[in-house]
Structure 1
Amino acid sequence: MLDKHSHSSSKQVDIFSDDQRQLHFAELCNALYERELTSLSQQKINNVSLLQRKLGGLKHHVKRAADSLLDKESPLQLDIHNASWQGKQAAKCMADKVDVDKTEQWFYDNIQIGRSIPIHVDTLGAEHIELDSVDRIDFEQGKLHANKFGWFAFNGSFLEEEIRQLDILGLKLLKPTKAVFTAACCGHHWNHRGKSQPRALSLRELMLSLSINWKTFK
């Protein structure tokens, strides 16, 4: 039977735990607000009502992201101060080590609408892996549509070269693995010298990272 002292100690631990969570929640919210407001200030938004909608929904999205980051079970470390995932970075980007047949088979077997997928982005002198989501699937033609980047074949090939952004040299759909998702979630970045400064994930990418099942990579 618990005595009064034991019961009081137990309550104190709970209180301290709750206080720590609230502190972490507040720090995450601050980091996310700062990042998103900086991002919005750099966007060319001519439509005032669109900007108002983005700002109006920011509070909800930031709080939801902060809560989810604290609750997410992940093999990655959560950096509270920067609202980012931390994990060991490979010396080189693993995008060149892909097997197109295995990639194609994986997407035939596992792809679903809404699923987070990793896209290798090769820009001028730099490369990273970015999270996107699936919004359309065409099994007959073996292709999917990523919400941001467009159509990819299940074997990884980008199918819309004519509308590729000017500064992007190449895009490739990758088969999800722990190494690939770690690189995407942590914002790992490489240039011709090797590892470079990690990129900060957008709020959208952070939310996509929270949907990953690290046991199945789906």
Structure 2
Amino acid sequence: MVKQNISDTKQSNLWHNEHERLQFAELVNVFYAREILLLAKQYNGEQLQKKLLSLPYYVERAARHISQGDVPLELDSQNACWLAPQKKAQPQFNEQNNKSFYSVHTPVGLVVPILVNNAGYTQVVMDSIDQVRDNAIHCNQYGWFASSGLSHQSDTKLLKPTKLLMVCACCGHRWQYKKVVVPRVLSLREMLLASMINWTNVKVPKLRPH
């Protein structure tokens, strides 16, 4: 009787089926192609080298979280994007709704929607709360916000998380002059954030496995 190598057994258990394995491979390929191009435009020399050295970790982490995750959206793994029908009406900012929510619910680690108006486009992007202090909320990328959702530094606006808004953010939905336009491509960081949303209840952080 031939004994199966223990490491081989562990490796095979990483994947539930061949479809999942194929999704992972397609996501890795797209993420590498996309991120290397972006890094080459943004960095050079030693900075670029450091970014490239850490890229495999983030690419494989994102691809694994997505292919083995539970995001209730259609995944286009060949283009590394989420798909869902887009609403004709663009999201609206409601200061009172935001204040009633964020005055009570401000857990660190919560993935939140942020309304951005840029170059004529209105879109919802994702960020995560990493600090809460003196009735102010700090998001990892977009900085400090009041509990009302108004930014301390820019015209971006923090929104109360709803499933509809998180779908908009995950799928890159955007509007121009209140009309639906082609969705934008999400960054590697945003794709990873999408896998960290607690889709059962988007108002509380997702429990992470130990």
Q: Describe the superposition over 1:64-86 as per-residue Cα deviations: whole angstroms up to 9, x where unpaired.
A: 11111111112211111111111
Identity of aligned residues (%): 36
Give 1:85's match in structure 2, choosing from 78, 82, 96. 82
Following superposition, the deviation at residue 193 of structure 1 comes to 5.5
Q: Describe the superposition over 1:1-34 as per-residue Cα deviations: whole angstroms up to 9, x where unpaired.
A: xxxxxxxxxxxxx9xx733322221111111111
Whole-Å separation in 2 of the counterparts to 1:18 and 1:177: 32
The equivalences for 1:44-83 within 5 A come to 45-46=43-44, 48-83=45-80
The AA in structure 2 aligned to 1:64 is R
The equivalences for 1:1-218 within 5 A come to 18-43=17-42, 45-46=43-44, 48-96=45-93, 98=94, 100-138=95-133, 140=134, 142-160=135-153, 164=154, 170-192=155-177, 194-217=179-202, 218=204
Could you say which structure has the higher helix fraction?
1
User: Structure 1 residues 93 and 193, CA, compared in 2 at 3 Å: closer, same or farther?
Assistant: closer
The AA in structure 2 aligned to 1:38 is L
Following superposition, the deviation at residue 173 of structure 1 comes to 0.4
TM-score, structure 2 as length reference: 0.84
The answer (yes or no) to whether the contact 2:40–2:48 under 8 Å persists in 1 is no
Rg larger in 1 or in 2?
Answer: 1
- The RMSD of aligned alpha carbons is 1.9
Whole-Å separation in 1 of the counterparts to 2:78 and 2:36: 16
Q: Describe the superposition over 1:33-64 as per-residue Cα deviations: whole angstroms up to 9, x where unpaired.
A: 11111211221x25x22211110111111111
Whole-Å separation in 2 of the counterparts to 1:75 and 1:196: 23
Query: Which segments of 5 or more consecutive residues in structure 1 lack a partner in the other structure?
Result: 1-13, 165-169
TM-score, structure 1 as length reference: 0.81
The answer (yes or no) to whether the contact 2:89–2:178 under 8 Å persists in 1 is no
Q: Describe the superposition over 1:85-141 as per-residue Cα deviations: whole angstroms up to 9, x where unpaired.
A: 111111121124x2x222112223221222211110001211111111222211x3x
Whole-Å separation in 1 of the counterparts to 2:37 and 2:89: 30
